[in-house]
Amino acid sequence: MSPPKTFHVKSFGCQMNVYDGERMAELMAAQGLTQADAVDADVVVLNTCHIRERATEKVYSDIGRLRKDQRKKSGKTPMIAVAGCVAQAEGEEIFTRAKVDIVVGPQAYHNLPDLVAKAAAGTPSLDTDMPLLSKFGALPARRKVAPSAFLTVQEGCDKFCTYCVVPYTRGAEISRPFAAIVDEAKALVDAGAREITLLGQNVNAWSENANTPEGRGLHDLIRDLDRIPGLARIRYTTSHPNDMTQGLIDAHRDIESLMPFLHLPVQAGSDRVLKAMNRSHTRDSYLRLLDRVREVRPDIALSGDFIVGFPGETDAEFEDTLSLVDAVGYAQAYSFKYSPRPGTPAASIVEQVPESVMDERLQRLQAALNRDQHAFNAATVGRTCTVLLERTGKLPGQLIGKSPWLQSVHLLGNHAIGDLVEVTLAAAGPNSLTGIERIAEAA
Ligand code: SAH
Ligand code: SF4
Ligand code: F3S
Ligand 3 contact via 14 beta carbon (within 6 Å): yes
How far is the centre of ligand 1, averaged over its atoms, from the C-alpha of 372 (Å)?
Answer: 21
The neighbour count for residue 3, using CB atoms within 10 Å, is 15
**pTM of the full structure:** 0.95
DSSP character for 141? P
Q: What are the Cα distances from residue 212, in Å, to 172, 230, 389?
A: 21, 32, 41
Q: What is the pLDDT of residue 440?
A: 63
Q: Tell me: the pLDDT tens digits for 241-265?
A: 999 999 999 999 999 999 999 999 9
What pLDDT score was predicted for residue 359? 98
* pLDDT attached to residue 109: 97
Q: Print pLDDT tens along the chain (443 aa).
A: 789 999 999 999 999 999 999 999 999 999 999 999 999 999 999 999 999 988 889 999 999 999 999 999 999 999 999 999 999 999 999 999 999 999 999 999 999 999 999 999 999 999 999 987 789 989 998 888 899 999 999 999 999 999 999 999 999 999 999 999 999 999 999 999 999 999 999 999 999 998 898 899 999 999 999 999 999 999 999 999 999 999 999 999 999 999 999 999 999 999 999 999 999 999 999 999 999 999 999 999 999 999 999 999 999 999 999 999 999 999 999 999 999 999 999 999 989 999 999 999 999 999 999 999 999 999 999 999 999 999 999 999 999 999 999 999 999 999 999 999 999 999 998 889 999 998 766 65
* Mutational test site, ligand 3, from 11, 12, 17, 334, max ligand atoms within 8 Å of CB: 17
Helices and strands, counts by H and E, the chain: 13, 21
pLDDT of residue 402: 98
Q: Is the CB of 166 under 6 A from ligand 2?
A: yes
The verdict on the CB of residue 55 being under 6 Å from ligand 3 is no
The whole-angstrom separation of Cα 379 and Cα 372 is: 10
**Rounded to whole angstroms, how far apart are CA atoms 155 and 263?**
17
Return the DSSP state at 258: B
Any residues with CB less than 8 A from the CB of 166 and at least 6 apart, and which? 51, 85, 156, 157, 201
Mutational pocket test of ligand 3: of 154, 166, 237, the residue with most ligand atoms within 8 Å of the beta carbon:
166
Residue 279 CA: nearest ligand 2 atom is 2
Beta strands in 63-202 (DSSP E): 79-83, 102-104, 125-127, 148-152, 154-155, 174-175, 195-199
- Which residue lies with its CA nearest to atom 3 of ligand 3? 14
The residue count of the chain comes to 443
Is the CB of 277 inside a 6 Å radius of any atom of ligand 1?
no
CA distance 7 to 21: 12
Helix%, strand%, coil% for the chain, nearest 5: 40, 25, 40
Q: What is residue 443's predicted lDDT score, i.e. its pLDDT?
A: 58
Q: So what's the pLDDT on residue 211?
A: 87
Strand 43-48 versus strand 34-35 pairing type: unpaired
Q: Which ligand 1 atom is the nearest neighbour of the CA of 265?
A: 8
DSSP, res 133: S
> For position 252, what pLDDT does the model report?
98
Residue 141 is predicted with a pLDDT of 85
d(CA 208, CA 43): 38
Residue 227's Cβ-count burial label (10 Å; 0-12, 13-18, 19+) is exposed
Atom of ligand 1 nearest to the CA of 267: 15
Q: Determine the pLDDT at residue 341.
A: 94
Separation of CA 48 and ligand 3 centre (Å): 8
Contact 100, 128 (CB under 8 A): no
Q: Which domains does the chain have, with CATH numbers?
A: 6-127 (3.40.50.12160), 134-380 (3.80.30.20), 384-437 (2.40.50.140)
Mutate to test the pocket of ligand 3, among 49, 170, 202 (most ligand atoms within 8 A of CB): 49
Q: What is the pLDDT of residue 374?
A: 96
What pLDDT is recorded for position 53? Answer: 84
